[in-house]
Structure 1
Amino acid sequence: MISRKPFLFTTKMELQTTEHSTKLHMCHPCRRTIPYRIYAVVHMCGIIALMYHHAHSLFTEHTALLTSLLLISDVVLASMWASATSLRLNPVHRTEYPEKYVAKPEEHFPKLDVFICTADPYKEPPMMVANTVLSVMAYGYPSDKISVYVSDDGGSSLTLFALMEAAKFSEHWLPFCKKNNVQDRSPEVYFSLKSSSWTEEAENLKKMYEDVKDRVEHVVDIGKVDQDQFRDVFDLWDHKFTPQDHPSIIKVLQNNETEITPNLIYVSREKIRATPHHFKAGALNTLLRVSSVMTNSPIILTLDCDMYSNNPTTPLHALCYLSDPMINFGLGFVQFPQRFQGINRNDVYASELIRPFDINMVGYDGLMGPIHVGTGCFFNRRIFYGPPTNLILPELDELAPTRIADKPIKAHTVLALAHNVAGCNYEHNTNWGSKIGFRYGSLVEDYYTGFMLHCEGWRSMFCRPQRAAFYGSTPKRLTDVVWQQMRWSIGLLEMGFSRYSPFTYGLKSLGLFTGLGYCYYVVWPFCSIPLTVYGVLPQLALIYGIRVFPKPSDQWFWLYIFLSLGAYVQDLSDFLLEGGTCRKWWNDQRMWLIRGLSSFFFGMIEYTLKTLNLSTPGFNVTSKANGDDEQKKRYGQEIFDFAPSSSIFLPMTTVAVLNLFAFVSGLYGLFAWGEGLSLELMLASFVVVNSLPIYEAMVLRKDDGKLQKGICFLAGILTLVLILGGYFLLK
């Protein structure tokens, strides 16, 4: 571990430097900081009082099991609150002035390598990948200083064909964008906008793009490329070639020797079934080595294949920080938020992720900087080779981050070495994945890598320009959402119980507040515990008329009210202050309940099975392809889509049925039990209101997005089992 004094908050020196020296960027502390700090102290006192109440009840009442379950649940909730509060103590906003950077001589523009990752041509359509590639090739940046590397972990000839078509189209698209100052530099986006002011050149270019799109989609539909037409290009795709077993492939599709278009390089690393490939982290490390051999640019941008560029000046925004001599020594990366297209009006699945990408990021930015979220991130290449004060050299001189790549990228020696470092056995007995490059050991390689880089002493910056830097695709089906977040929860648990856990290594290396901030996401899967306990236990007590919470006449009753309402009001204020709406906030908190009883619940089970060597979780690519018309219609109408229904919805449906039963039972017995069960009835009411889409999908709907009868039947059976079990537990 690096011995140093960690940065707890953005220092006054940095603020003065930013405002009075470089003038390329400014930092503004958030006005809500002081009120949040005051409330944090008050809320903490309330949590301490609640823990005292649980401890007192544990030793004085004859409900040890019930009290213990509530105590465990509240400890988890308190941990989540503490980690979230660490991000509210010093939030900051930043402003960049890229127009001032443009005025600099061209030698001040460093070379840029762009890494784009794809893995499945059917879940990640090749035409979507091509649009992302074209959008970054068309940056408002010197073309001869951009190199775009596409990692195809599926080894698909369909993707390569799409990139070949994109390379030819770029010769017309890039000059058009720069001559006309086009802002939407994804062809698909630009040509989908109807404009009466289009010139004849634009109309001809649109027809050319549609021809490209037709050719690519035709190849995807038939599932293969005509190898007779491209005999020298697709020879490797023979009958032995599979996505899991194939040699390394590197194709230079575009060369920037003409200074009109950037470099475009297709990379598909070697794979053998018996050799671990470490999913996306392994693909990125392959790109890191291949690019070191070919171009070795000092700045690296990582992108998911669906995150097209929406702002042609994005590199200039990043350089406002990365080129600042007062802060760039320890500055490792500049993170941009993810933005998504096609989200329905009120974001019914909470897919905008306002809390992770807006609320929390400004909090991290006031500590050691934002976390790495896997895409939309500009790295200093040096960051992947050890701490700022200790350069760890790779095994080959050609991979050193400071080397100047002065050979043509098509040179035989360059391509031979690039193929070598893309081999599946190259990393054996090296530091790759442990001390060099993106880190292995978790399915959430982005979060884990960012954490380790911060622990080494690197800092980061959050950049949120007024015009969004990138737009991407987001799942439009609830099934895709919960499966994606289940994979995240498994990776977070792997990280939480590893040698480099944020709970231990993070707090020791980063200090209290930044360490707690990194604990925030690691605690996510554990929220399934309080959601399960509070979704079942008080409801069973309500059915049998047994008190679990204090009466309204009891002073402890108001402590529960204060802690609950205080947490929700603060969360709502965060949402509104960062540009959200009340409806979006309501959908977000409802999705928390759904994720907790599906993604996080099964994520903990899957991780436990993995730990016991009873299961091996894989990396399933989230589909970015558009669904059928009926599915898109339901999403546009904000109707929950449970198709294809699976067992992952069973706990959530069971809790919904149990709470409805408890709510009806509580209303019936309200006059008999008086005020004694007020909190239990309020809790059941809250769950019932949040579960309205579930009841609708169970009973009222006839479309394909409803819950399957088998899931509903099993939920009913489990509800009866819980009620019967509650009799023996409570009576």
Structure 2
Amino acid sequence: MLSVDRNLTLRMEKQMIAINSPPLYEKIVEKPKLYRAYAFLHFVLTLSFLGYRLLNPLDESYRIWILAFACEIWFAFQWILEWNMRWLFVDYKTYPERFAQRYSGESSSKLPPVDIIITTADPFKEPAIITANTVLSVLAIDYPVQKFACYISDDGASTITFYSLVETLRFAKRWVPFCRKFDIETRAPFMYFSKQSAQHSKKSDPNFLREWQEMKDEYEGLKRRIQKASQTQDVPLDSICQDGVDGFAHRSSDIRNHSTVIKVIYENSGAERDILPHVVYVAREKRPKVDHHYKAGAMNVMARVSGVMTNSPFILNLDCDMFVNNSKAIQHAMCFFLDCKSERDCGFVQFPQLFYRSIKDDPFGNQMKIFLSTLARGMNGLQGPVYCGTGCFHRRKALYGAPPAADQYNNKDVREFHNHAKVYHSLKASSWSLGALSSIFGSSSALAASAQTTMRNTQFGVLSSPSSTIDEALNVASCRYETNTAWGKEVGWMYGSTVEDVMTGFKVHCLGWHSVFCVPEQPAFMGTAPANGPDCLVQMKRWVTGLLEIFLSKLCPFLGIHRNIMVRQRMMYAYFTLWGILSVATFFYAILPAFCLLSGKSFLPGISKPSFAIAVTLFVSIYGFKLWEFLRIGGSIREWWNNQRMRLIQCLSPFLLATFDVLMKLLGVSDTVFVVTPKGSGDEDDCGEVDFTFDSSSLFIPPTTVLFINLAAIVSGSVVFVAGRDDIFRDKLFAEYFCSVWVVINLWPFVKGLVRKGKRGIPWSVLMKSAALALLLCGCSWRQN
């Protein structure tokens, strides 16, 4: 009864505040008429071309006809799924200044607390100085320090990472006051000092100049100490860790076999003099025979540890290289959580992944500008965007698998709502008892109690003491704690996919929650992107592997008719999870024209046929629209072309191999492996390779094979033309010849790799394997002749 009355009181207070104060965010809806007009044109052209295909079967080459028609049907289906996200655009504008006014003074006590989780796994692939900068940017964020806690998840249990954090906290005690005193906006030191900030308008202030130079010198000293520890692996832990170093994994040992390590590096006492929040280091227990579920497992441990220590109703998760670029990032998120009409409308708030280390014209297609400027806005017009793994604020209640409250009563008479609320909570009380929650959340009574508090929305920012709960935290961080619980199945981050983020977001949406994509003018978070060819492809392979695993799991978007998720939201998830199947269609369509040239057959209309105009118009409209869309958002023609060719390379390389890996997993031949993507050197001046680089990875075999086949076809077609059979070439093989040339142009980095040496050249092992595979496939086409 008390919890019902408290919930009712909180809701009524929220309604009164909303009435007397301007809204904290604004929803802007756009119906893009030009997009819809193009969609109609493209749909008509696609139907016309498919109609031509149906009415013109190739009796002498029915296998080619069937394959071509199947690929074209799939392309049309994938286009429908994509344009489902372009039909309606929704933007959100937040007002953090109104937030500051509403919750200033005594009202600041009503602010909900936030648990911030930073994840890292390897101090060498993810340099410790990068993690240090992310932690510093979090500690200096513009939010009451008594209202948030910073947790660092070190999945490598590295003494280097722990040492760097202790040194970082020493520097933070000067860095945080410096940022607040001079209103510094860029609060990651490496980025701030790289901008030559001493030259801005405050340069006439001698106090500022002196402190600026002192801070820069101290940061350089911090950087040298951390880098020295990383290079020598000689960490003076005895001087910083009084209770020993038991549990840490050493570089020479197996990092999958170590005890739990939880250390409260800094504890906020609640006094005004405290300038830092709680800072807690966590390295979960790992054992060789216990599945640790990669990042999803680490995040679930962090959810449990933070649950028994601070149990904030909201969680922000960040990758170690995604620093806070907007000091009011929490305020932007809270504008939604605290001002939405119904809690159902805001299960999580996703911020875009933007990169500071960007190369001109985006040669590797990392910036994802179309996704951020178009598709994400379209997702806002559905049930909300996908969860993208970092830069996301979660409602803990949604992560715990609870459905939204009975929001249908929010706009009704208060007395009627009060009566219905009693019934609703009485019905739910049995399922939220401590006994029932223990069977779901595990044997920890403290965790069950904190989960009960979260489910009933009764907690409101009481500061706790992490050091007093370490024993309970060690218990919930053990590797066998999840046995016979709902963690990873119904609660927390979902298991079964290498993209636990998308899978978890889908689970939250299935419960009936909505999500929001927030894009403030000042980017909230900035990170690093892979800076060369191999790293980009490895990252994409991991993503597509996980996405296809989701489609083939019980969380397939097309299954579960009783899920509280709209049809168009299912289509949105299907678009992403079916990238692997798209790669198969792309691969066959990239070699079909070459096979036809080599065998003297045709599957595309000749120049003299009326259907040729349909094919040309469709081709020009597809690429013309994509170019227009890129120019519309401020991109360049060169940038559009880089993204266009990288999309084909991705389909022929990581997407295709990811599909093969998932197939092998389904057959029980192998298992998927999570690979950590290197985050660079940690040097702000290191901008990576501008040119495409190669290694001996199998990722480069499919594109090289496709290149060899199309080069052979171009030579064959050119011989036909030079031999004087230009009538056959023009009426029967011109379209196939053009398509082969187009494929080669898109694979131009691989063409250059054929003649280059070193890391910019394709290794001989890849060339030999690709040549053998190309000869095998070309032999199949010759047998068809």
* Cα gap change, 1:364 to 1:422, in 2 (>3 Å): same
Q: Which residue of 2 aligns with 1:8?
A: none
Q: Which residue of 1 aligns with 2:416?
A: none
Deviates more, 1:381-390 or 1:307-316: 381-390
Q: CA RMSD in A?
A: 2.5
Q: Which residue of 2 aligns with 1:639?
A: 691
| Deviation of 1:487 (Å) | 1.3
- Per-residue deviation, residues 661-690 of structure 1 (Å, max 9, x unmatched): 322332342351233222112211211222
Q: Which residue of 2 aligns with 1:388?
A: 404
Q: Which residue of 1 aligns with 2:24?
A: 24
| Deviation of 1:294 (Å) | 1.0
Distance in structure 2 (CA, Å) of the matches to 1:492 and 1:506: 21
Q: Which residue of 2 aligns with 1:368?
A: 383
**Structure 2 counterpart SS, 1:270:** coil
**Structure 2 counterpart SS, 1:264:** strand
Distance in structure 1 (CA, Å) of the matches to 2:611 and 2:775: 32
* Cα gap change, 1:239 to 1:121, in 2 (>3 Å): closer
* Cα gap change, 1:21 to 1:89, in 2 (>3 Å): farther
Deviates more, 1:86-95 or 1:578-587: 578-587
Mark the runs of 5 or more structure 1 residues left unpaired by the alignment.
Answer: 1-16
Q: 1:551, 1:677 within 8 Å by CA — same for their partners in 2?
A: yes
Count of matched residue positions in the alignment of Structure 1 and Structure 2: 706
Q: Which residue of 2 aligns with 1:433?
A: 488
1:267-346 matched pairs, under 5 angstroms? 267-346=282-361
- Per-residue deviation, residues 42-69 of structure 1 (Å, max 9, x unmatched): 32333333333333344x7232201111
**Structure 1 counterpart SS, 2:85:** coil
- Per-residue deviation, residues 552-588 of structure 1 (Å, max 9, x unmatched): 2223222222332222233333333334322212111
Partner amino acid, structure 1, of 2:557: P
Distance in structure 2 (CA, Å) of the matches to 1:721 and 1:667: 22
- Are 1:249 and 2:256 counterparts? no
**Structure 1 counterpart SS, 2:603:** coil
Partner amino acid, structure 1, of 2:740: A
Q: 2:263, 2:282 within 8 Å by CA — same for their partners in 1?
A: yes
* Cα gap change, 1:175 to 1:271, in 2 (>3 Å): same
Distance in structure 1 (CA, Å) of the matches to 2:563 and 2:711: 46
| Aligned counterpart for 2:604 among listed residues 546, 549, 553 | 549
- Per-residue deviation, residues 279-330 of structure 1 (Å, max 9, x unmatched): 1111111111111111111221111110001111111111111111414344
| Deviation of 1:96 (Å) | 1.2
Distance in structure 1 (CA, Å) of the matches to 2:66 and 2:682: 46
* Cα gap change, 1:329 to 1:495, in 2 (>3 Å): closer
- Are 1:377 and 2:392 counterparts? yes
| Aligned counterpart for 2:74 among listed residues 73, 76, 84 | 76
| Aligned counterpart for 2:530 among listed residues 452, 463, 475 | 475
| Deviation of 1:447 (Å) | 0.5
Distance in structure 2 (CA, Å) of the matches to 1:237 and 1:510: 44
**Structure 2 counterpart SS, 1:251:** strand
Distance in structure 1 (CA, Å) of the matches to 2:99 and 2:564: 35
Q: 1:338, 1:376 within 8 Å by CA — same for their partners in 2?
A: yes
| Deviation of 1:410 (Å) | 4.1
- Are 1:685 and 2:685 counterparts? no
Deviates more, 1:61-70 or 1:114-123: 61-70
- Are 1:695 and 2:694 counterparts? no
Partner amino acid, structure 1, of 2:280: I
**Structure 1 counterpart SS, 2:760:** coil
- Per-residue deviation, residues 226-263 of structure 1 (Å, max 9, x unmatched): 34434525421578974211121111111122431111
Deviates more, 1:223-232 or 1:479-488: 223-232
Distance in structure 2 (CA, Å) of the matches to 1:622 and 1:435: 28
Distance in structure 2 (CA, Å) of the matches to 1:316 and 1:410: 24
| Deviation of 1:452 (Å) | 1.2
Partner amino acid, structure 1, of 2:127: P
Deviates more, 1:401-410 or 1:419-428: 401-410
Mark the runs of 5 or more structure 2 residues left unpaired by the alignment.
Answer: 1-16, 407-427, 439-447
* Cα gap change, 1:299 to 1:641, in 2 (>3 Å): same
* Cα gap change, 1:97 to 1:227, in 2 (>3 Å): closer
* Cα gap change, 1:203 to 1:409, in 2 (>3 Å): same
- Per-residue deviation, residues 410-462 of structure 1 (Å, max 9, x unmatched): 443x1111111111111111121122111112111000111111111001111
Q: Which residue of 2 aligns with 1:47?
A: 46
Q: Which residue of 1 aligns with 2:423?
A: none
Give the TM-score, by structure 1 length.
0.92
* Cα gap change, 1:666 to 1:30, in 2 (>3 Å): farther
Q: Percent identity?
A: 34
Distance in structure 1 (CA, Å) of the matches to 2:247 and 2:612: 69
Distance in structure 1 (CA, Å) of the matches to 2:463 and 2:191: 36
Q: Which residue of 1 aligns with 2:450?
A: 398
Distance in structure 1 (CA, Å) of the matches to 2:131 and 2:550: 30
Distance in structure 2 (CA, Å) of the matches to 1:628 and 1:678: 51
Partner amino acid, structure 1, of 2:86: R
- Are 1:217 and 2:227 counterparts? yes
Q: Which residue of 2 aligns with 1:174?
A: 176
Distance in structure 2 (CA, Å) of the matches to 1:345 and 1:664: 35
Partner amino acid, structure 2, of 1:697: G
Q: 1:19, 1:27 within 8 Å by CA — same for their partners in 2?
A: no
Q: Which residue of 2 aligns with 1:3?
A: none
| Aligned counterpart for 2:649 among listed residues 558, 582, 594 | 594
Q: 1:113, 1:291 within 8 Å by CA — same for their partners in 2?
A: yes
- Per-residue deviation, residues 511-560 of structure 1 (Å, max 9, x unmatched): 33211111111121112222221221211212333222111222322222
| Deviation of 1:716 (Å) | 2.9
| Deviation of 1:500 (Å) | 1.5
Q: 1:86, 1:513 within 8 Å by CA — same for their partners in 2?
A: yes
Distance in structure 2 (CA, Å) of the matches to 1:509 and 1:664: 56
Deviates more, 1:118-127 or 1:203-212: 203-212
- Per-residue deviation, residues 326-362 of structure 1 (Å, max 9, x unmatched): 1434411111000012221011100112233332111
- Per-residue deviation, residues 202-231 of structure 1 (Å, max 9, x unmatched): 111111111111111111111242344345
1:348-367 matched pairs, under 5 angstroms? 348-367=363-382
Q: Which residue of 1 aligns with 2:209?
A: 199
Partner amino acid, structure 1, of 2:704: T
| Aligned counterpart for 2:572 among listed residues 491, 510, 517 | 517
Deviates more, 1:222-231 or 1:591-600: 222-231
- Are 1:704 and 2:755 counterparts? no
Distance in structure 1 (CA, Å) of the matches to 2:62 and 2:603: 12
* Cα gap change, 1:158 to 1:234, in 2 (>3 Å): farther
Distance in structure 2 (CA, Å) of the matches to 1:540 and 1:63: 11
- Are 1:621 and 2:658 counterparts? no
- Are 1:89 and 2:104 counterparts? no
**Structure 2 counterpart SS, 1:93:** strand
**Structure 2 counterpart SS, 1:189:** helix
| Deviation of 1:165 (Å) | 0.8
Q: Which residue of 1 aligns with 2:154?
A: 152
Partner amino acid, structure 1, of 2:232: I
**Structure 2 counterpart SS, 1:103:** helix
**Structure 2 counterpart SS, 1:82:** helix
- Per-residue deviation, residues 685-723 of structure 1 (Å, max 9, x unmatched): 211222222111111x23432111232233333333333
Distance in structure 1 (CA, Å) of the matches to 2:749 and 2:357: 21
Q: Which residue of 2 aligns with 1:235?
A: 245
Distance in structure 1 (CA, Å) of the matches to 2:501 and 2:191: 28
| Aligned counterpart for 1:578 among listed residues 606, 628, 633 | 633
Distance in structure 2 (CA, Å) of the matches to 1:578 and 1:288: 38
Q: Which residue of 2 aligns with 1:66?
A: 64
- Per-residue deviation, residues 626-654 of structure 1 (Å, max 9, x unmatched): 3999x96872xx32111x23222111012
Q: Which residue of 2 aligns with 1:10?
A: none
